[in-house]
Structure 1
Amino acid sequence: MKHALMLSAAAAAALSLTACNKPASTTASDAASATGAAVNKAEDATGAAVGAASANTIGPHDTAAFVSNASQSDMYEIQAAQIAEKRSKNPDIKAFAKMMIKDHTASTKAMTPLVAAAGQKPADKLDDRRQGFIDHLNKASDADFDKTYVDQQVAAHTEALDLMNGYAKDGSDAGLKGGAAKIAPTVQTHLDKIKAMQAAISKS
């Protein structure tokens, strides 16, 4: 409920900002498109904040929450990368997306026996928050796609790094703690790369 209220508030704020800044010459269609993009961006920001809070509170201490979030993180990264490979015209982003598919498929494979040994089951689908990220990525205009993907990736990898480092430090299952510790440096590498791309895009 609290999440829904946050999303509603973010959406309302985005609608208000869009209305205030709309040029007089903007057509109804353009205005609707701009409003939708602003709302999606606001919802992505809210979703990122919710994920960051969870990664720093529940995930490091609750094994079931850690497994669910880690498995969904891999699923989201692979799905988002598949979209980026098809839609982005930026060779650096396409190369990053290819790396995401390879590395997150590998981390899922590495964690699978550890999850089973811990008596846990990975998530079988994305939650509403992460599915929202995918939906917004699919709806992004060609002009906004790269920035939308990169901004989502910075948030997602910040969340994943906090989750991995947190469980490696405070988790209760030794096998999963070891797995998280091994995966964290790869996530850090991804985060460093995507932050550099974000900075480059913001300057262009």
Structure 2
Amino acid sequence: MKKIISTGFIAGAFLFAVASCGQQNDSVEQAQDVNEQQVENTPMEEQVDDASEFATEAASSGMLEVEAGNMAQKMAQNQQVKDFAKMMVADHTKANEELRQLAQSKNMMLPDSMSNEHRNKLDGLRDKKGADFDRDYMDLMVSSHEDAVEDFEEASRDLQDAEVQKFAADKLPKLREHLESARKLRDTVKK
């Protein structure tokens, strides 16, 4: 009897450990792992790994922009914030689709959901209301676009994959425009 109980306890602990590990491994990391395994030990490994890292992070960031924008259209108090959110949803939905098509043409897997980091940022907005929501949403839009501009600038300069490099370069002007608008609107809602 003791043996059955202890075996059951060990099996339960093992299942808990496996489940816990699965929660830490987010969809961006999983997509990157799949992409890396496809080209492991080939001459294209470094080029594909770099393009995959950029594309999976960009996909996650784009999902954050769309989901946060949808939330802001419902929860924002300021009409300018709602209008900005509507623009984020439209522009990033379009960019996400273009990235999906590019990745598909390259047999590159993208995440099916945003990274844990991006999910945590989005979750931080859920309990906010009114002017607090507006300020926090606009702070998030500034910081996420600062990160995106930096990532897309680097990709447009340094990636060896010409098509992914071109995608990054083509999206930079719109991202810079978003960042400038977000900064101005953040300053407005903080007053």
Which of 79, 95, 110 pairs up with 2:67?
Answer: 79
What is the TM-score when the length of structure 1 is the normalising length? 0.67
In terms of Rg, which structure is larger?
2
Alignment of 1:1-204 (within 5 A): 62-202=50-190, 204=191
SS at match of 1:62: helix
Amino acid of the residue matched to residue 178 of structure 1? K
Question: Do the aligned residues in 1 keep the contact of 2:76 with 2:131 (CA within 8 Å)?
Answer: no
Q: Percent identity among equivalent residues? A: 28
**For residue 30 of structure 2, what is the aligned residue in structure 1?**
none
What is the TM-score when the length of structure 2 is the normalising length? 0.72
SS at match of 1:182: helix
Question: Do the aligned residues in 2 keep the contact of 1:160 with 1:187 (CA within 8 Å)?
Answer: yes
Write the distance in 2 (CA, Å) between the matches of 1:112 and 1:66.
13
Question: Do the aligned residues in 1 keep the contact of 2:146 with 2:179 (CA within 8 Å)?
Answer: yes
Alpha-carbon deviation of 1:132?
0.6
Contiguous gaps of at least 5 residues in structure 2: 1-48
SS at match of 1:138: coil
Alpha-carbon deviation of 1:160?
0.7
How many positions carry a matched residue from both structures?
143
Alpha-carbon deviation of 1:89?
1.6
How far does the alpha carbon of each residue in 1:26-49 deviate from its partner, in whole angstroms, 9 at most, with x for none?
xxxxxxxxxxxxxxxxxxxxxxxx
SS at match of 1:178: helix
Amino acid of the residue matched to residue 135 of structure 2? K
Write the distance in 2 (CA, Å) between the matches of 1:107 and 1:147.
25
Write the distance in 2 (CA, Å) between the matches of 1:166 and 1:142.
36
Contiguous gaps of at least 5 residues in structure 1: 1-60
Amino acid of the residue matched to residue 189 of structure 1? E
Alignment root-mean-square deviation, CA: 1.3
Alpha-carbon deviation of 1:171?
0.6
Question: Do the aligned residues in 1 keep the contact of 2:62 with 2:92 (CA within 8 Å)?
Answer: yes
Amino acid of the residue matched to residue 91 of structure 1? Q
Question: Do the aligned residues in 2 keep the contact of 1:72 with 1:126 (CA within 8 Å)?
Answer: yes
Amino acid of the residue matched to residue 62 of structure 1? D
